[in-house]
Chains A and B, each alone.
Chain A
Amino acid sequence: MNDVAISVKDLSKVYRLYRTSSSRILDFLGMGEGAPARGYDEHWALKNLSFDIAKGSTVGIVGRNGAGKSTLLRLLAGTSGPTSGEVVRHGQVAALLELGTGFHPDLTGHENIYASGLYLGFDHRAMQTFYKDIVEFSELGTFIHQPVRTYSTGMYMRLAFSVATCLPADIQVVDEVLGVGDAYFFGKCLQRFRQFQKEGRTTVLVSHDNATLLRLCSRCVWIDHGRIAADGSPLEVIIAYTEAVQAEQDRKSRTAWSDPGGTSDAAFALRKQKAVEIEEVQFLDVRHVPTNALAMGDAITIRIHCHARVVIERAVVTVSIFRSDGITVCNVISSIEDFYVRLYEGRSTIDVQFAPLLLGPGEYTVAVGMYPSLDLNDSVSPQHAVIWHRRQMFSVHQPVGIALDLGIVRHPVTWAICAPVESEERIAS
């Protein structure tokens, strides 16, 4: 049991939705029970959840709005009690559920730091040891002595995040608070979480940003309608989740019937009938031998085996390459190169050659998409016929003899030496 940080057994949470406020009061006073007609409906936010969270792990939780993610976090943190079942926590829990809730607008940032400390169980003396760290991390500078009502939203959130994460804890429960600042602060937050991982802190994290989850988490849990829909490696769970969301959108668009006979409808029909299937994707080296390991600068061919039951005259093929931390490294679209595939009934094979491969060292996964037509100007709702995305990786290693980090991309460049420019001339111009 020593390596378990949080143990959840048969956890359920029921919210009572009262029809009238008086039935709420009656129930509250213990007089609603046993009445012939109950004054409330039951909403099972979570139903019979059981899982363990290992010490030092970072677990991401995904799911639609209202699936029960926030309820689960509240129960894990202990700010709300379960209806049945139990949560056992081994260690001190810090809850980052709503940032800056204890802040008083009229007090200065400085005073609010100590006030929040009080609410979190740290007295003045204890807070003094963390104070410098908090102010430094928030980068508020002299604003720290201004009332927080004068802060911008970003400054307010930065201070709140700093306070919440500078205090010691064994387990952190974090609800969608990572997107609080600009890109720079976001980077700092990620770094902080990495540092927590090194220190062995356990983190449970809800986010709608899949890339963040892929970057940080060692495990993902997908909650749907109060139950665990999937639990496993981040990539697998997130793929399953996004596919389910896509399927849901399909069902919605069919009922909405917004665009009868249009392209989205055609694509939807294709998806529905599974008219196009991608059976296999292979990674081939220069000699067309399947491989999973390449060196930077090698050539790679991605071979797509697909099977169609209809004829598509001008299908567009896309290949996206993701690094293992979720970054989309590149996204090649055949129509940009003015290449269209004529799909026949039966099997066809399509090759995409990346030669030379410019990607830096790392592990990569690939997603392949096929579209009956693709509007390059519409980033919102490209309508695919099929998308293939599996946890099938290829890795790229450094060229022999180079140990220095070469970055994500080895960009083709040309070097040249220019004639030196006189300094006087520069001043004159």
Chain B
Amino acid sequence: MKCLQMLIHHRRLIWNLILLDFKVRYAGSRLGLLWILVGPIMILGSYLFVFGSILRIQPMPGLSRFDYGLLVTCGLLPWIGFSEGIIGGTNSVLAHRNLMRGQLFPMELIPVTAVCSGLVGQLLGIALLLLVLGVRGMWGANLLWLPGLVICQAMFTVGAVWILSCINILFRDLSQIVRLAMVLLMFISPIAYTAHMVPHGLDLAITLNPLSFVIEGYRDTVLFGRHPELPGMALFGSVALVLLNMGYHYFMRLKKLLPDLV
């Protein structure tokens, strides 16, 4: 696993790059890091308003308003981290192209940094969620699955972004397409509803959607207090690992060509 070795070797540099990324992003802004939370909380609020209060979706009998809120949160958190990571990561190499021309820099870290920065909002959200769960006395051993879910999701995103960021250099329309795809993904992922509510014939959209595994996993651990479905998790975990490796090799192969193309 060359790429895992590489990531571990550069862990401090990646951490510093993430810090730098935030410093640059929020330089001169007053609320700073708080902005990361404002967006997701707004989306959560509108979801609860539209689907909870107006459309009154009932995924299962006897679900309280609070439980529905948790259900939507479990769906939104992975989507936020995933879409931020994919959108930011796809653009990342192009945005940092000057690093390739003037100096020697391990460019493969740039998409990784973008994905990790995208995850920060999700992680802060998880921290808030844990706080709420603690107050409600809903803590259990099953919550220990959460880090595993986050890591699998991160591996999947990094692998995808290593490929997407390369293609984006040649085919710049990709970043727009990805942006739209993420909006689409928000609706076809089981965020406001559960996977079981999807009628037969359409459930392929759920099976093929990598995010639905993660979302259902969050719900199992947070809402239902049980471990995620193991076959699905194993499948998603191995897909993530394979994609991570594929992405790494693709990126490293193209890395030599990139400086001449940007």
Contact = CB atoms under 8 A, between A and B. Distances in A.
B231 interface: no
B103 A81 contact: no
Nearest to A117: B16
Interface residues of B, number: 25
Interface of B: 12-13, 16-17, 20, 23-24, 27-28, 98-105, 170-171, 254, 256-257, 259-261
Given A101-B99, A101-B102, A101-B103, A118 B20 contact: yes
A98 B256 CA distance: 19
Nearest to B259: A80
Given A79-B259, A123-B13, A124-B16, A106 B105 contact: no
Given A111-B23, A118-B16, A106 B28 contact: yes
Nearest to A24: B170
Nearest to B98: A101
A117 to B, nearest CB: 9
B172 to A, nearest CB: 9
Contact of B101 (A15, A101, A104, A147): A101
Nearest to A102: B99
A107 B27 contact: yes
A118 B104 CA distance: 11
A61 interface: no
18 contacts: A15-B260, A28-B261, A74-B101, A77-B104, A79-B259, A97-B101, A98-B98, A101-B99, A101-B101, A101-B102, A104-B27, A106-B27, A107-B24, A119-B105, A120-B104, A121-B105, A123-B13, A123-B16
Contacts of A93: 104
A79 B13 contact: no
A115 interface: yes
Given A95-B104, A147-B27, A102 B256 contact: no
Q: B13, B23, B260 — which one has the most chain A CB atoms within 10 A of its CB?
A: B260
Contacts of B103: 77, 79, 95, 97, 101-102, 119-120
A273 B63 CA distance: 101
A28 B99 contact: no
Contacts of A120: 103-105
A25 B171 contact: yes
Interface in A351-366: none
Contacts of A124: 16
Given A77-B104, A80-B259, 13 more contacts: A21-B170, A25-B170, A28-B254, A79-B102, A81-B259, A93-B104, A99-B102, A102-B98, A104-B24, A107-B27, A115-B20, A118-B20, A121-B105
Interface string A21-44: 100110010000000000000000
A78 interface: yes
A345 B257 CA distance: 62
Q: B98, B103, B170, B256 — which one has the most chain A CB atoms within 10 A of its CB?
A: B103
Contacts of A79: 100-104, 259
Q: B23, B28, B102 — which one has the most chain A CB atoms within 10 A of its CB?
A: B102
Nearest to B29: A106
A106 B24 contact: yes
Nearest to B97: A101
Contacts of B171: 25
